[in-house]
Each structure stands twice: as C-alpha cells, then as structure tokens.
Structure 1
Amino acid sequence: MATYIPQHLENVDAQSWPALVSVTEPGRIVNFRTRQAERRFAVACDKAGIALGGESPDVEVVQEELFVRLAESGWLGLAESYMAGEWTATDLTGTLTKLLGADFQPQGRRSGTSVRSASRGDGHELPADLVQLCSVDGVSMFGGLFASGVPTTVRTSTKSFVSGAGRGSEPATHFVDVTTLSAPIGVERADFDAAQQRAAESLLDAALVDQGADVLEFPSSGGTIALLASARGATVDVLTADPDHQIAVEEFITLNGATDYVHPYTLKAPFPTREEWRGRYDCIISTEKLEYLGKQGAISYLKSLDRMLTIGGFIGLQTVVATDSFGPTSRQALSVLRSYVWPALRFSTITGLHTLVDKESGLRIIAEKHFGDHYLESLRIQRELFESHLREAAAAGYDPVFRRMWIYHFALLEALFRLGHLEAVQLTLTTRNRSGRR
C-alpha cells in the first residue's frame, strides 16, 4: 500500500526513524481497519477507566494517525505513535498499566523489526551520556535495593534439570535459599544512589567477594561495582566489547584512584573465546545482561561464565525475569523495545533460568533474592531523572522522537512491574562439582 508523510512529521529524520515518517495512505481497506482500531481503543480505554474526553482527559489524541498505526502495528504502533507525538497522557505509566491490565489487544498486522538500537546486541553498551541522564552517580543504570525492604528467606527444594537427575550420583532436587524483600517505604530520589550501592554490595556478597579475591565483572556496569569490589581488597578485571564504554570506565576508575586494582579490557567479540581470554576467577559479577541476549546468546554467555569461574567459585547475577502472569499482551507491548533498543530482548521465567543453567552449563543456582518492588521504584526514579534532563538530552543530540521513546520505555517497564508481570532477582550461582569456600 502507498504511504505518505503527514505534515506533523515533516521535520522527523526519516533515516533514523523510517517507520515513524511513513504512514499508510488512507483508502477503503485502510479506513475500515482504522475505524476498527479506533473502536477497539475506545472500548479498551472505557474498560480500563481511561478518560479520552471531557475537561480533564487522561489521554489526548493529537493526530488521527494513532489509529492507522494501531491497525497496522498493534502495541508497536501505539508506542510509535507516542514517539511521534500523536497522543499524550497525563500519567503515561498509569495509562499503560491500565491498558495492559485490561488486556488491550490492538491486533496489528506487523510486530516490527529492529530499526534503530540504542544497544545493538553486539556487545555495545548504552551510550555513556544517555546513562548519565538517567542516573545519580553518572555511570550506573541498574536497579537498586532500598533500605526499608525487609527480607524473608525460605530454603526451598528445587527440581534439577541436569541430564540424568535422579539417577546415579546426580540428585533429583537441590536446595535454593529464596529471599523476598518487602516493598520499600517512602522512597525519594535522594535514596537512589544508596540503593544502587546496596544492590552492588548485595551482588558482591552473593559472589563472596573478599580480601584477595580475583574478581571479574562481565560485562561492565559502568565502574561502580568494580570500585566497590576493589574497596574490599579484591583485584578486578572488567570486560566489555564496547571500546567507548571501556574509555568511560577507565576515566571513572582513574578519578576514584583505583587503577591499581581495577583493570578494564575491550574484547574483540561479545563473548570471549578461550584463546582471547584465559583468565579464571574466584568471583564473577553480572548485572542485567542476560535478558538482552536472546536464548542462544544467553547460552553462549553462561558457557563463558562457566569457563572463567574457578571450581568452587561464585557468581552474583542480577536480572529481570517474567512471572507466571506474563502473557501474550505483555510480550506484544514489549515489541517497541525489541524494535528500537534491544533486538534480542527476552525475559525468561525463574524456572526457565534454572533449566537453562542446569542444561547448558556446569553451574547451579543456589540462592535467589527477589526485589521487584524495589526495581519498580528504581525505574520510576530513572524515568523522572531523564525527564528532568530533557534539555541536556537535546544538547547531547537526542531528538524529540528518541526522548519520547526513552520515556515510554521506562513507563512500559514500570507498568509491567506494577502488574507483577516482571520481577527482579539477584542469583547466586556456583559450580555443581565444587569444593572449598562454602
């Protein structure tokens, strides 16, 4: 079908945002689908308690192209329409939460392909200037643990997915210490820096990082975790496949006087081969990487961690997982992140992670710490920080479309956490055949 560029998108960079500037031209079939999409959207908003009209609407439709995009692309079209400024919401997170909660299914005909990625899935990290706009310390964008959360721990018998489990010397089950943190109380933006420090310390504790330990952080989370590990008396190697990120980490480590203890390196590929990197480590730290790699990438990543961990060593791994309530609507809603930010985005369940680790590596998960409510507050603060830095984002070269996309990205993840469709967890892994330190 023919496309055209609406007047309100004439100033959008067509090379950077091709899907946004090209809208299907009206016609008999297009108009019919558009009217259907408009009706479904109105019904979903009514069901969800979202006001579309009146003196104080929750959602204001600025351009009718919203409904064309809904008919064409479903949830991706809804996001792209927001990026194009075709609709606004007084509370974007609340609106997305209500639409997801009402199981809104626009039934678009395409789900999207990768158009432009802030992180390309080839080992490159988010740009340092973008991370700075969303963080307190200027280098970290991982979820934090706030002080007011109360932990409850239960030792749970967990099924083993190792081949031959239940026969011979391989037990059918093993014990996992499952800790759940209660929701934080009275969280403010000023608490976020300490919360990220607390999350980093928790990961270091999970990996038993102490005096004299050889530690690997792979990939780098910006320098904060490596710096805290060095403060415990550990020697830290930091691996990244992004040369620009290595430079940023080196600057951070130099400014904090830890160059004798923290050593950043750039890899030639996202996952180091045995020939490129022969280091073996007592402790490995991984922060929010596994979910962006896809299944095959996650397998390659786990095998790399397995190879680089000493027998009896420990891994502290922080990641976001899907819960049992995560379904097709949640998956469709995330299509915008796969299209524009993380092409291989895939949230496994916690059982799926146990299965993956048992079947694809010589590792085993022995502890879980769940902190979804804390992660939700982290996302809210990161979104608010970015919104407060919109002028700086513009000065850094992020155009209005990108800025709206980045706000939408935070709001969407917030909505999925609010509904309990996503959960954040810190895992402790060790070698299955281990001896020594624990």
Structure 2
Amino acid sequence: MTTEPISPTPVRRSNNHLVPRPNEGVWPGLATPPRAPGKARIAEVLFRQAVRPLPVRVVFPGGERIGAGGPDSPVMRIVRPEAFFHRLGAGSKIGFGESYMVGDWTTTELADLLAPFAAKMATLIPPVLQRIGRRFAEARQPSEEVNTVEGSRENIHRHYDLSNDLFATFLDETMSYSAGWFADGSDDLVLAQERKIDGILDMAGVGPDSHVLEIGTGWGGLATRAAQRGARVTTLTISAEQAKLAEQRLDAAGVADRVQVLLRDYREAQGSYDAVVSVEMIEAVGVAYWPTYFAALDRLLKPGGKVGLQSITMPHDRMLVSQNDYTWISKYVFPGGVIPSVEAIEQNLRDHTGLRIAERRSLGPDYARTLAHWRRTFLERWETVAGLGFDETFRRMWEFYLAYCEAGFRVGYLDVYQLSLQHHRSY
C-alpha cells in the first residue's frame, strides 16, 4: 500500500477571516447580531406567517405563542427575539442556523421541530418572495469554494480533517459516514452499515479477483469489505487525515496488501477497472464538474464493468432553484457541496457517458435513522468531544447539522439512492 504526496498546505480563501474554523473555536462575526432593521421586520412577518399553520408551538418571552401544534408538539422558544429576527433578516437560512448556534432560540427536540419546516420547505415563503429573496438577499457560493482541484482539497480539508477522533466518537465501529441500510426489525447500526456496503458492492459486481476503484476512501470501511471479498482495491481520497487513519485500519484488518490508498483527485485517476464504487462523494463535486465526474466514471470502467454509486438526492425542481445558494450547510459544514437530483444524474449520464442506471435502491428513511443514531451518540459523548478541544458553539452547530439533515430525510425532502450504472448496451 502506497500513499502519494499532496499539496502540503490547502489553499486558503483570500478573505480567510470570514471562514469559520470550528476545530479552533473561530466563529467570525457570530457573537454580534447583524443590524438590519428593515429586513428584520420583513423576516418577522414572514416567519410568523410561515409558522402559523405548522404543527409546532413557537413561544416568545412574555408568553405569546404561535403555531398550530397541540400540547405534544415540539416547542421552539425564542430567547432573544430581536437578535433572532435580525439574523433571519440579514442571513435568511444561514441566520436561522446561526441563531440556534448562539442560543437565540432553543427547542425541546430539534429534529422533531425542524421536520415540519422541512416538509413545507418549498412553500414556507410565497414563491414570488422566494424569487425576490434569491435575487437580492440570498448569499451566493463564494468563488473560492468552487470545486477546482485545489478548491476541492480546501473544501474537503475544512470538514473531513476536523479530527479523526471527533468522527470516531459518534460513528459506529465501521467508521461509515453515509446512510446505513437497516434490515427489517433491526436497529443495529453496525449491521446496517455492513449491509449498505455489501449492497453497493453487489451493485458494482465486486467479487474475488475484481480490481476495484473507490472514489472517496472515507476511513477505509468499504475498501476493507471489498478486500475481504478477495478484490484488489485502489482507493482515492484528498483528505490526508482520512488517508492516514484508513491505512491504519486496513492494516489492522489484515487487508493492507490488497488495498492501495492514493491521495489523488478523481480527475487525476488513471487505469481501467472491473468496478468503480463511489459512496456519497458526488455531493462534493459541484454542478460545474458533474460532467467531468461522470465522464471519469465512464473512462475508468472496463467494458462490461459496473459502477456502484450512492448519492444523496433532492427533488429536481428544488435543486434547480437552490443549486447556487450559499446556505448554512455550505458555510459551516460542507463548503462547495451541492446535492443532485436523480434527473440531473440521468441527464449527465446521457450527455457525457455511455452509462445508464440499471438498478436503483432508495435508502431515505434509513438515512433518517442513521442520523438519529449519530446525533444521539454525539450528544451522549459530548464530554469526550469537548476533551478534543471543541467548544459549546461547535456542539450546537453539529447538533443542528445532524438534526437538520435527519429532518430532511424524515419528510422526504431529501433521499439517498444506491445506483448500479452500466454501459447501456450491457443490459
């Protein structure tokens, strides 16, 4: 097993002072609410209008309540209304998440509260106002976070290199950071992750003597499983921290001699493989590079081979209107990330490859359960995480991230698919 060198220092944005650095406790501009009186008044009107029909209860200081929720519905307590509406007015969806991070509002159960908002995401704000907001108020993706080869390395560095120990704290023993696939009657996350990995390997036709290319190593769980099937694996990552731990885990599993870990971008990949597997990596590619990504899958796959692709997806109409938005998730969790639709995947396959979807499996409800496991474990082990140097703002940020995603999968605003791609003349 060999590791190739990578650029020693990830490229930093020119306005680096605006970039959060969660592992250092650096939260630029977060402590002081923005001042946007006009926008704050508009935000309050729209928020009240959006909440009234939802099955939640929003409680203000002094006892005012809005929302259609009954006594058992989730409660959102607005602790600092002025700060909350100024953040919401100045930053829309970014402001909503930031206000939770700093405690402007709290709730009895975060995912339960966010789910009704997610279910009505397309209609919470009237469409005309959504279009106006996107034109004049919504932030756009910074040019420095576009997924060029160098930009991708910086974007990945900001998330996956936070700390291997952090991820080990809340993930299961397989260190899988993607949707599990639960068997009927089982809530065992380890078994669900092993089943997920086996499912995507089966879709790619991976067996003894297969030479497999994995795009997105993670921490080596899939490469280990493929090697245990008798396959040879070349796995690519652009996270130095992930590569280091993956190598250790592969060695501990006794399969290091069958797996080559390369610090290499998918655009730089060479060779020809019996199977190509990529699990929840396409979300980090970016719309402009989807043609390049799918063309690479086609180029690297031998005739008659199969691709196993696992992708988070969203409805096509929502993807089209939001693909250039700079959201809370973009700013704090996945810079440069864009979730595709199934239609966008199919269109890129038709336009840029000879590949087509031959088989598909939805795991959306399973991802909601997976995220619930992660969030519960993260909160239960917070003292361990804090011992790694992460602060209370990070705790609320990470909790919001996991709950926000869980809510999206719960209500079907988000889905995740395992797809078997084959050359269209092969089936």
Band the TM-score falls in, shorter-chain normalisation: 0.7 to 0.9
What TM-score, normalized by structure 2, do the two folds share?
0.79
Is 1:140 matched with 2:132? no
Cα–Cα, structure 1 residues 205 and 217, in superposed 2: closer, same or farther, change >3 Å?
same
Q: Structure 1 residue 96: deviation in Å?
A: 1.4
Equivalent position SS for 1:353: helix
1: CA distance, partners of 2:291 / 2:45: 43
Instruction: Quote the residue 2:3 is aligned against.
Output: none
For 1:303, what is the secondary structure of its paired residue?
A: helix
Q: CA RMSD in A?
A: 3.0
SS of alignment partner, residue 30 of structure 2: helix
- 1:358-380, Cα deviation, whole Å (9 max, x unpaired): 21123222111112111211111
Matches within 5 A, 1:20-99: 20-25=30-35, 30-53=36-59, 58-63=75-80, 64-99=82-117
Q: In 1, distance between residues paired with 2:53 and 2:24?
A: 36
Secondary structure of the residue aligned to 1:100 is: helix
Matching residue of 1:5: none
CA distance in structure 2 between the partners assigned to 1:333 and 1:386 by the alignment: 28
Deviates more, 1:79-88 or 1:126-135: 126-135
5 Å matches for 1:1-20? 16-20=26-30
Q: In the alignment, which residue of structure 1 is the partner of 2:18?
A: none
Determine whether 1:271 maps to 2:266. Answer: yes
Equivalent pair of 1:146/1:374 in contact (CA under 8 Å):
yes
Closer, same or farther: CA 359–368 of 1 in aligned 2, 3 Å = same
Return the alpha-carbon distance in structure 1 between the equivalents of residues 401 and 302 of structure 2: 38
Determine the structure 1 residue equivalent to 2:304: 312
Residue 126 of structure 1 corresponds to 160
Partners in 1 of 2:140 and 2:398 — Cα distance?
Answer: 17
Structure 2 counterpart of 1:104, from 99, 118, 124 = 124
**Residues 8-51 of structure 1, C-alpha deviations (whole Å, 9 max, x = no match):** xxxx99983224134234xxxx4343233234323333321322
Cα deviation, 1:24-80, whole Å, max 9, x if unaligned, reads: 34xxxx434323323432333332132223598811122231110011111211111
1:350 aligned to which of 313, 318, 342: 342
Q: Which residue number corresponds to residue 402 of structure 1? A: 394
CA deviation string 1:238-284 (max 9, x = no partner): 111222211110000111111111221212xx2343xxx43221011
The alpha-carbon distance between structure 1 residues 337 and 43, as it changes in their structure 2 partners (threshold 3 A), is same
Query: Secondary structure of 1:24's match?
Result: coil
Separation in 1, partners of 2:325, 2:124: 10
Distance 1:367 1:205 in 2: 11
The C-alpha deviation readout for 1:309-351, integer Å capped at 9, x for no partner, is 1111111111111135747998799811112222322222212
In structure 2, stretches of 5+ residues that fail to align are 1-21, 66-70
Trace 1:29-428 onto structure 2 (pairs within 5 A). 30-53=36-59, 58-63=75-80, 64-102=82-120, 103-105=123-125, 109-111=137-139, 121-122=152-153, 123-124=156-157, 126-127=160-161, 128-137=164-173, 139-148=175-184, 185=185, 188=187, 191-267=188-264, 270-273=265-268, 277-323=269-315, 326=318, 335-428=327-420
Deviation at 1:426, TM superposition (A): 0.3
* Secondary structure class of the residue paired with 1:47: coil
2-side partners of 1:324 and 1:234: how far apart? 36
- 2:93–2:327 contact (8 Å) kept in structure 1: yes
CA contact (8 A) 1:337 1:343 kept: yes
- SS at 1:48 equivalent: coil
Q: Which moved more, 1:105-114 or 1:39-48?
A: 105-114
Instruction: Give the TM-score normalised by structure 1.
Output: 0.78
**How far did 1:101 drift?**
3.3
Determine the C-alpha separation between the residues in 2 that align with 1:77 and 1:356: 34
Note the C-alpha offset of 1:227: 1.0
**Bigger radius of gyration among the two:** 1
Number of aligned pairs? Answer: 375
Cα distance, 1:356 vs. partner?
0.7
Q: 2:178 aligns to what SS in structure 1?
A: coil
Question: Relative to total residues, which structure has the larger helix share, 1 or 2?
Answer: 2
Counterparts of 1:307 and 1:110 in 2: how far apart (Å)?
Answer: 38
Which residue does the alignment assign to 2:4? none
**Structure 1, unaligned stretches of length 5 or more?**
1-11, 149-184
Alpha-carbon distance change, 423 to 35 in structure 1, aligned in 2, over 3 angstroms: same
Identity of aligned residues (%): 29
Partner of 1:158: none
> Is the 1:112–1:336 Cα contact (8 Å) retained in structure 2?
no
Distance (whole Å) between structure 2 residues aligned to residue 32 and residue 293 of structure 1: 37
- Secondary structure at the aligned position of 1:318 is classed as strand
Partner of 2:16: none
Residue 67 of structure 1 aligns to a residue whose secondary structure is helix
- State the alpha-carbon separation in 2 of the partners of residues 333 and 137 from structure 1: 35
Checking the alignment, whether the CA contact within 8 Å between 1:218 and 1:240 is kept in structure 2 is yes
Separation in structure 2 between the aligned mates of residue 80 and residue 115 of structure 1, nearest angstrom: 22
User: Distance between the aligned counterparts of 1:146 and 1:331, measured in 2?
Assistant: 30
CA deviation map 1:81-128 (0-9, x unaligned): 1111211111111211222334433976243656999x9732546132
What secondary structure does 1:217 align onto? Answer: strand
CA distance in 2, matches of 1:311, 1:226: 22
Task: State whether residues 329 and 401 of structure 2, in contact with CA within 8 Å, keep that contact through their aligned partners in structure 1.
Answer: yes
CA–CA separation in structure 1 for the residues paired with 2:324 and 2:369: 24
Change (3 A) 1:82 1:331: farther
For residue 403 of structure 1, report the CA deviation from its aligned partner.
2.0
